[in-house]
């Protein structure tokens, strides 16, 4: 390969690996000279400029990096074919201080999430993603294939991906308002990743997702293997830039596998080394179902969000069980941002500070207060009850880096670890970057 062919081949590009596009503006100098010298006429000059303009539009910084979807960054389509790649990930480092009561909750600094993914698009209608969690002992998170050829608004999923269910559980951990999801979401986790099939679709103000979910790759200490069918429907009567009303309902039906046991439990709302409430293994389970109601409202910098989740367990020759919980929180951006709603997914996306640090601003500042409650007690199951009050301050330095400070006051009744009531205070700090 000589230098001349090289000069051409170097224009080959990797479109998806960059979140922004860049264009060549240098040729305009030549055009101008040629016009001035009469080598081309005004009309030709303008035509060439128009090309350059196209370039610039093509290349202008993507304003809407806030959208958490693959597709917004998947643009180039070469002829009838395409092959695109994107690499990324997230790192969350938590430091937590526990003023424990009876059960010891050790102060710690640890990686909460260290994920890398590679995803891409091929042949117009197909996309794929592989994501691995390096924190802890390592877990395969996503590994799926998407088919988008059923229509503009419909996507078919094959592989391991999150099941349908719950606003907060569907929402990426990169975008949730407080460090951890709320107690009932953590305990029932309706959007757990399983291997299966799924279909998602949306309209102007609604979204729908249904999943047929089997097992998952990891050894699940909370015994959720089996087969499940889930659905989630969301409706947003209005969703303008900074005014959103979101309503949603979800339902999961699962049959456990093998030894017919399930288990629900959760740590407090800052990750710790002990689950204080926990059903333990519930045996002789025929099936269980999770039912969720969700709502959210934003108006400018204010937002409210809440969910109610109820889980019913039917058992062989024993009476059925019911556990339920709820959470409710309010958030306020002191710097006047608004939580961005994604109607296609029926959840919230990336916060882009109006005045990020690198532009001389203070970033975005948000305060939030959440109340949550969960009971894991019913009949013979004495899993304890817990109420959490969580106060959070978020500092979004820019679109991709935020620092979180959370204070959690946890009141536990009949903690399974101690058998006693406990009053716990926890302070947590998170450093988060996603790329």
Q: 211 with 196: CB under 8 angstroms?
A: yes
250 bridge partner residues: 232, 292
State the nearest-atom distance from the C-beta of 233 to a copy of itself, in Å. Answer: 26
| Helix/strand/coil for 121 | strand
What residues have CB less than 8 Å from 60, skipping those under 6 apart?
21
Q: How far apart are CA 173 and CA 170, in angstroms?
A: 9
Query: Residues 49, 102, 145, 222: which binds a copy of itself (CB under 8 A)?
Result: 145
Query: Within 153-182, which residues bind a copy of itself (CB under 8 A)?
Result: 158-160
139 bridge partner residues: 133
Q: Is 150 in the site for a copy of itself (CB under 8 A)?
A: no
Q: How far apart are CA 183 and CA 282, in angstroms?
A: 19
Query: Within 187-246, which residues bind a copy of itself (CB under 8 A)?
Result: 195-196, 214-215, 217
Q: How far apart are CA 17 and CA 184, in angstroms?
A: 38
Q: How far apart are CA 158 and CA 223, in angstroms?
A: 23
Q: How far apart are CA 209 and CA 170, in angstroms?
A: 11
Query: Residues 143, 222, 367, 393: which binds a copy of itself (CB under 8 A)?
Result: 143
Residue among 250, 266, 253, 281 nearest 373 (CA): 266
State the nearest-atom distance from the C-beta of 172 to a copy of itself, in Å. Answer: 18
Q: Is 148 in the site for a copy of itself (CB under 8 A)?
A: no
Q: How many angstroms separate the most distant Cα atoms in the chain?
A: 95
| Helix/strand/coil for 229 | strand
State the nearest-atom distance from the C-beta of 270 to a copy of itself, in Å. Answer: 16
Q: Is 110 in the site for a copy of itself (CB under 8 A)?
A: yes
- Binding segment for a copy of itself (CB under 8 A), chosen from 2-10, 244-252, 298-306, 388-396, is 2-10
DSSP letter (8 states) at residue 282? B
State the nearest-atom distance from the C-beta of 88 to a copy of itself, in Å. Answer: 8
State which residue, 55 or 286, has the beta carbon closest to a copy of itself.
55
What residues have CB less than 8 Å from 13, skipping those under 6 apart?
none
Query: Residues 49, 93, 156, 255: which binds a copy of itself (CB under 8 A)?
Result: 93
Residue 11 φ/ψ, nearest 5 degrees: -80, -10
State which residue, 78 or 204, has the beta carbon closest to a copy of itself.
78
Q: Is 1 in the site for a copy of itself (CB under 8 A)?
A: yes
Q: DSSP string of 284-348?
A: SEEEEEEEEEEEEEEETTEEEEEEEEEEEEEETTEEEEEEEEEEEEEEEETT---PPEETTTTEE
State which residue, 108 or 172, has the beta carbon closest to a copy of itself.
108
- Binding segment for a copy of itself (CB under 8 A), chosen from 4-12, 233-241, 299-307, 334-342, is 4-12
Query: Residues 49, 102, 114, 369: which binds a copy of itself (CB under 8 A)?
Result: 114
Binding mask 356-385 for a copy of itself (x = CB under 8 A): xxxx--------------------------
State the nearest-atom distance from the C-beta of 291 to a copy of itself, in Å. Answer: 25
Query: Residues 71, 320, 420, 435: which binds a copy of itself (CB under 8 A)?
Result: 435
What residues have CB less than 8 Å from 404, skipping those under 6 apart?
178, 179, 392, 393, 394, 395, 428, 429, 430, 432
Q: How far apart are CA 161 and CA 260, in angstroms?
A: 23
State which residue, 140 or 245, has the beta carbon closest to a copy of itself.
140
312 bridge partner residues: 289, 322
Q: Which two tokens stand for residue 34?
A: 């040629």
Query: Residues 42, 81, 204, 317: which binds a copy of itself (CB under 8 A)?
Result: 81
- Binding segment for a copy of itself (CB under 8 A), chosen from 202-210, 331-339, 365-373, 397-405, is 397-405
Query: Within 11-50, which residues bind a copy of itself (CB under 8 A)?
Result: 11-15, 17-26, 29-31, 33-34, 37-41, 44, 47-48
Q: 179 with 428: CB under 8 angstroms?
A: yes
State the nearest-atom distance from the C-beta of 46 to a copy of itself, in Å. Answer: 12
Query: Residues 400, 404, 412, 422: which binds a copy of itself (CB under 8 A)?
Result: 400
Binding mask 303-342 for a copy of itself (x = CB under 8 A): ----------------------------------------
CA angle 326, 274, 110 (to 5 degrees): 100
State the nearest-atom distance from the C-beta of 49 to a copy of itself, in Å. Answer: 12
State the nearest-atom distance from the C-beta of 430 to a copy of itself, in Å. Answer: 11
State the nearest-atom distance from the C-beta of 64 to a copy of itself, in Å. Answer: 14
Q: Which two tokens stand for residue 318?
A: 């024993």
State which residue, 230 or 375, has the beta carbon closest to a copy of itself.
230
């Amino acid at each position: 390969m000589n230098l001349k062919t090289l000069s051409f081949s170097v224009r080959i590009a990797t479109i998806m690996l960059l979140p922004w596009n860049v264009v060549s503006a240098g040729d305009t100098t030549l055009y101008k000279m040629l016009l001035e010298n009469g080598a081309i006429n005004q009309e030709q000059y303008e035509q060439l400029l128009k090309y350059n303009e196209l370039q610039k539009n093509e290349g202008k910084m993507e304003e809407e990096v806030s959208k958490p979807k693959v597709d917004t960054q998947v643009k180039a389509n070469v002829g009838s074919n395409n092959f695109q790649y994107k690499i990324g990930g997230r790192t969350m480092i938590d430091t937590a201080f526990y003023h424990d009561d009876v059960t010891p909750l050790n102060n710690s600094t640890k990686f909460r999430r260290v994920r890398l993914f590679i995803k891409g698009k091929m042949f117009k209608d197909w996309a794929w993603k592989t994501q691995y969690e390096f924190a802890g002992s390592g877990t395969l998170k996503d590994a799926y294939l998407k088919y988008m050829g059923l229509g503009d608004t419909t996507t078919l999923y094959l592989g391991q991906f999150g099941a349908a269910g719950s606003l907060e559980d569907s929402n990426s951990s990169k975008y949730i308002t407080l460090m951890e999801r709320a107690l009932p979401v953590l305990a029932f986790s309706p959007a757990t990743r399983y291997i299966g099939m799924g279909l998602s679709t949306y309209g102007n103000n609604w979204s729908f997702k249904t999943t047929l979910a089997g097992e998952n790759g990891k050894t699940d200490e909370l015994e959720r293997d089996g087969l499940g069918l889930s659905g989630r429907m969301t409706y947003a009567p209005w969703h303008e830039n900074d005014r959103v009303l979101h309503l949603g309902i979800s339902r999961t039906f699962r049959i456990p596998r093998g030894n017919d046991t399930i288990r629900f439990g959760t740590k407090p709302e800052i990750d710790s080394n002990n689950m204080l409430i926990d059903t333990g293994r519930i045996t002789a389970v025929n099936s269980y179902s999770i039912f969720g109601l969700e709502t959210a409202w934003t108006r400018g910098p204010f937002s409210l969000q809440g969910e109610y989740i109820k889980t019913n367990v039917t058992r062989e020759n024993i009476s059925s069980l019911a556990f339920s919980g709820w959470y409710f929180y309010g958030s306020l951006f002191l710097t006047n941002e608004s939580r961005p709603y994604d109607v296609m997914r029926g959840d919230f996306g990336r916060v882009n500070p109006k005045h990020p640090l690198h532009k001389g601003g203070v970033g975005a500042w948000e305060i939030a207060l959440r109340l949550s409650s969960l009971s894991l007690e019913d009949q013979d199951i004495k899993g304890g009850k817990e109420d959490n009050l969580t106060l959070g301050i978020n500092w979004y330095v820019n679109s991709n880096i935020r620092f979180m400070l959370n204070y959690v006051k946890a009141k536990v009744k009949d903690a399974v670890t101690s058998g006693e009531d406990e009053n716990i205070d926890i302070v947590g700090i998170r450093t988060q970057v996603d790329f």
